[in-house]
Amino acid sequence: MGDHRVAVVTGASRGIGRAVATALAGAGHAVVVGYAGNEAAAKEVVDRIAATGGRAVAARADVADENAVAALFDTATEAFGGVDVVVNSAGRMALSPIADLDLADLDALHRTNIRGTFVVAREAARRVRPGGAIVLVSTSILGLQFPGYGAYAASKGAVEAMTLILAREMRGRDITVNTVAPGPTATELFLEGKDEATVEHLAKQPPLERLGTPADIAGVVAFLAGPGGRWVNGQVLRANGGIV
């Protein structure tokens, strides 16, 4: 399953998506590094993969734009011959009590996290080859239910709601569909706006007494995308060190 597998990873220019792209490349996948706007960061990921003997290309796409996403998959087919693994790591976060939330922020969350996930999943359902895997990304906030995360959690709840349904719709095609729900993970997106005391408090919550790392999450995704994960299907895996 190694050398000829091709992965499309959205949100791959930074954070968890970047770690996923490099992990899949390390497992033998050719990788399309999808990014929203930071071309330089995406190129760094491609160069890093190439430096270790892997194959990768960068492609810009707004995940909520169905034409851009179709073009992203076209890039995978033109560069590497098809698509076997799709990981939708692109996401947006906005924190606010529900009473105070700017509805423009709610619309932006909906567009990226719900519509974007749906558009990528729809294209994946049309294109992924037999033996392939679709991996979506949610959040362990759905279980933790911290104040301030209402809109974000609601958007990711939609992702979890479609997981088993899409897995069942793939019946007969030998394609798995799962969602990974990270807990607090040391990414720029997570750390932004949090003081040291808050970060320290969150790091002490899991029995393992640390924040997750992008590599921790990437390892779970690589498992689901690889031969060892073939019998895991329609599941939401809470990768959070035991915090919930």
228 in any annotated domain: yes
Domain that holds residue 201: 6-239
Q: What is the set of active-site residues?
A: 152
226 in any annotated domain: yes
Runs of H (alpha helix) within 145-213: 150-169, 188-191, 196-204
46-60 tens-digit pLDDT: 999 999 999 999 999
pLDDT value for 233:
98
CATH number at residue 139: 3.40.50.720
227 in any annotated domain: yes
Q: Cα–Cα distances in Å, from 219 out to 62, 66, 121, 185, 228?
A: 25, 29, 21, 13, 12
37's tokens: 């706007």
244 in any annotated domain: no
Distance CA 147, CA 45 (A): 34
1 in any annotated domain: no
Distance of CA 19 to the CA centre of its chain: 10
Q: Give pLDDT tens digits along the chain (244 positions).
A: 445 899 999 999 999 999 999 999 999 999 999 999 999 999 999 999 999 999 999 999 999 999 999 999 999 999 999 999 999 999 999 999 999 999 999 999 999 999 999 999 999 999 999 999 999 999 999 999 999 999 999 999 999 999 999 999 999 999 999 999 999 998 887 777 788 898 888 899 899 999 999 999 999 999 999 999 999 999 999 999 998 6
Residue 135: which H helix or E strand, with range? strand 133-137
Q: Cα–Cα distances in Å, from 63 out to 91, 120, 187, 232?
A: 9, 6, 20, 26
Q: Is the distance from CB of 32 to CB of 78 less than 8 angstroms?
A: no
pLDDT value for 1:
40
103 in any annotated domain: yes
Size of the chain, expressed as the number of residues it contains:
244
pLDDT value for 2:
42
154 in any annotated domain: yes
Instruction: State the pTM of this model.
Output: 0.95
Q: Give the count of domains, the chain.
A: 1
194 in any annotated domain: yes
